[in-house]
């Protein structure tokens, strides 16, 4: 991968079940970038990031593997795009430590996610939660990444990665590529089906508010049938129509139809018909993913061969960066 092609890097945490918000909002876009961008994509399951909260070992192990299998199920081709498990590439921890020493306490303290999480997890505000953004910077900078597709909630972290890279380059010369955010062409912000003013979240206690990527088709359809709408009765985008706006955007993500086409197709039809159509379209678009996932989970040897090969390729690149950084800092080889 030493050439002039741009590098795109992204990672996802193996925390809990992935939802259609993760799929339509991020993962579907990963596949699109792999297939259409003139760039090399590198993807990781960010298991090191996930231990800022306590994990049950057996469950955690299972979830890391499942998250990895989902990436392959949505069409990430490990031969084309190195896809690995973060903790398998030791350089992530190594560079994260070094970058900690080039990151200010005040900068980390200003991170919105840290401030929020230290309130919601007040009983476990550990140092890892605080330095989480430097680990994320290491993930990105190790691969001399040009573009990082990130959602709104990770933008501030990416901004800090840029600051750290620029600071380091300022002291030692050009060591790191300074990464830029990648703004996806198609990307849906999926809201809760029960309270469409809130982002869909797998930690929502009401299971009807979110749809997992691996939910059974009949459960998906049922959840959409129960989705909250409004009293206006018209399938069209509009102010105060958060529920319908959300359903239109999900239907559009699942079918590729534009909002205008959808409005036309459902003119004169009721919400019942529309909700059923959305549910069925989502179930249909997830069906091949679920089938592939079930196959892959029966084939652990294959999965292992993929994540090992991914880690090997990633390690080669990561090793080069860490060697360069070590030399600049003055460590003895
Ligand atoms: N912090 C990201 C999240 O929670 C996941 C992540 C870890 C990531 N390392 C990354 C995303 C590097 C982009 C680039 O969503």
The pLDDT tens digits for 233-252 are 899 999 999 999 999 999 99
pLDDT at 288: 97
- Binned at pLDDT 50, 70 and 90, residue 3 comes out as low
pLDDT at 183: 80
pLDDT at 186: 64
The finding on whether 154 has its CB within 6 A of some atom of ligand 1 is yes
User: Span 139-159, mean pLDDT?
Assistant: 94
Residue 195 lies in a domain: no
pLDDT at 130: 98
Pocket test of ligand 1: the residue of 46, 147, 160, 165 to mutate, having most ligand atoms within 8 Å of its CB, is: 46
- Binned at pLDDT 50, 70 and 90, residue 184 comes out as confident
Residue nearest to atom 13 of ligand 1 (CA): 10
Instruction: Tell me if 133 sits within 8 A of 106, measured CB to CB.
Output: no
pLDDT at 261: 97
* pLDDT-above-90 percentage for the chain: 90
Residue nearest to atom 4 of ligand 1 (CA): 13
Residue 151 lies in a domain: yes
Domain count within the chain: 2
The finding on whether 140 has its CB within 6 A of some atom of ligand 1 is yes
Q: Are residues 236 and 312 in the same domain?
A: no
The finding on whether 161 has its CB within 6 A of some atom of ligand 1 is no
Q: Measured from the CA of 149, which atom of ligand 1 is nearest? A: 13
Residue 34 lies in a domain: yes
Residue 32 lies in a domain: yes
Structure tokens at 113: 């996610």
CA of 154 to the centre of ligand 1 (A): 7
Q: Are residues 16 and 154 in the same domain?
A: yes
pLDDT at 1: 45
Residue 201 lies in a domain: no
Residue 126 lies in a domain: yes
Residue 39 has pLDDT above 70, yes or no: yes
Instruction: Give CA separation, 87 vs 51, 139, 256, in Å.
Output: 11, 11, 36
The finding on whether 148 has its CB within 6 A of some atom of ligand 1 is yes
User: Span 159-165, mean pLDDT?
Assistant: 98
Core vs surface per residue 10-20: b (16+ CB within 10 A) or e: bbbbbbebbbb
For the entire predicted model, the pTM comes to: 0.94
User: Span 115-141, mean pLDDT?
Assistant: 96
pLDDT at 248: 96
The finding on whether 92 has its CB within 6 A of some atom of ligand 1 is no
Instruction: Tell me if 52 sits within 8 A of 118, measured CB to CB.
Output: no
Residues 6+ apart with CB under 8 A from 77: 34
- Cβ-in-10-Å burial (0-12, 13-18, 19+) of 236 comes to middle
* pLDDT-above-70 percentage for the chain: 98
Instruction: Tell me if 161 sits within 8 A of 133, measured CB to CB.
Output: yes
Place of tokens 């140092």: 127
- Binned at pLDDT 50, 70 and 90, residue 18 comes out as very high
pLDDT at 2: 47
Q: Are residues 143 and 265 in the same domain?
A: no
Ranges 12-26, 65-79, 103-117, 274-288: which has the least confidence: 12-26
Q: Are residues 276 and 131 in the same domain?
A: no
Core vs surface per residue 84-120: b (16+ CB within 10 A) or e: bbbbbbebbebbbebbbebbeeeebeebeebeebbee
Q: Which residues pair with 41 in a beta bridge?
A: 8
Core vs surface per residue 246-279: b (16+ CB within 10 A) or e: bbbbbbbbbbebeeeebeeebeeeebeebbebbb
Q: Are residues 156 and 17 in the same domain?
A: yes
The finding on whether 73 has its CB within 6 A of some atom of ligand 1 is no
Place of tokens 């297939």: 35
Residue 200 lies in a domain: no
Q: Are residues 40 and 169 in the same domain?
A: yes
Residue 199 lies in a domain: no
Please identify every residue annotated as catalytic.
117, 199, 202
Kindly state the helix (H) or strand (E) to which residue 18 belongs, with its residue range: none
Range of the domain at 268: 207-294
Q: Are residues 281 and 305 in the same domain?
A: no
User: Span 113-136, mean pLDDT?
Assistant: 95
pLDDT at 113: 95
């Amino acid at each position: 991968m030493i050439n002039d092609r741009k590098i795109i890097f992204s990672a996802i945490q193996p925390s809990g079940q992935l939802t259609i918000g993760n799929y339509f909002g991020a993962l579907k876009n990963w596949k699109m970038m792999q297939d259409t961008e003139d760039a090399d994509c590198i993807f990781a399951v960010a298991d090191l990031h996930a231990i800022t909260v306590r994990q049950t070992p057996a469950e955690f192990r299972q979830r890391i593997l499942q998250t990895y299998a989902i990436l392959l199920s949505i069409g990430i081709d490990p031969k084309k795009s190195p896809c690995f498990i973060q903790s398998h590439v030791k350089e992530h921890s190594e560079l994260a430590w070094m970058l900690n020493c080039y990151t200010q306490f005040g900068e980390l303290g200003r991170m919105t996610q840290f401030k929020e999480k230290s309130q919601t997890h007040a009983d476990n505000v550990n140092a890892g939660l605080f330095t989480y953004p430097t680990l994320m910077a290491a993930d990105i900078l190790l691969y001399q990444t040009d573009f990082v597709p990130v959602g709104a909630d990770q933008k501030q972290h990416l901004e800090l990665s840029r600051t750290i890279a620029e600071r380091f380059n300022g002291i030692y010369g050009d060591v790191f590529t300074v990464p830029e955010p990648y703004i996806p062409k198609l990307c849906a912000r999926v809201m809760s089906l029960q309270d469409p003013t809130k982002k869909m979240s797998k930690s929502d206690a009401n299971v009807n508010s979110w749809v997992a990527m691996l939910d059974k088709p009949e459960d998906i359809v049922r959840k959409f049938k129960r989705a909250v709408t409004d009293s206006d009765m018209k399938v069209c985008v509009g102010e105060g129509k958060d529920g319908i706006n959300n359903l239109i955007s999900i239907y559009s993500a699942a079918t590729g139809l534009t909002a205008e086409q959808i409005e036309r197709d459902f003119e004169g039809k009721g919400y019942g018909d529309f909700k059923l159509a959305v549910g069925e379209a989502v179930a249909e678009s997830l069906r091949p993913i679920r089938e592939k996932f079930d196959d892959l989970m029966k084939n652990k040897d294959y999965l292992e061969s993929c994540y090992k090969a991914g880690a090997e390729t990633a390690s080669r690149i990561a090793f080069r960066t860490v060697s360069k950084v070590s030399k600049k800092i003055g460590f003895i080889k």
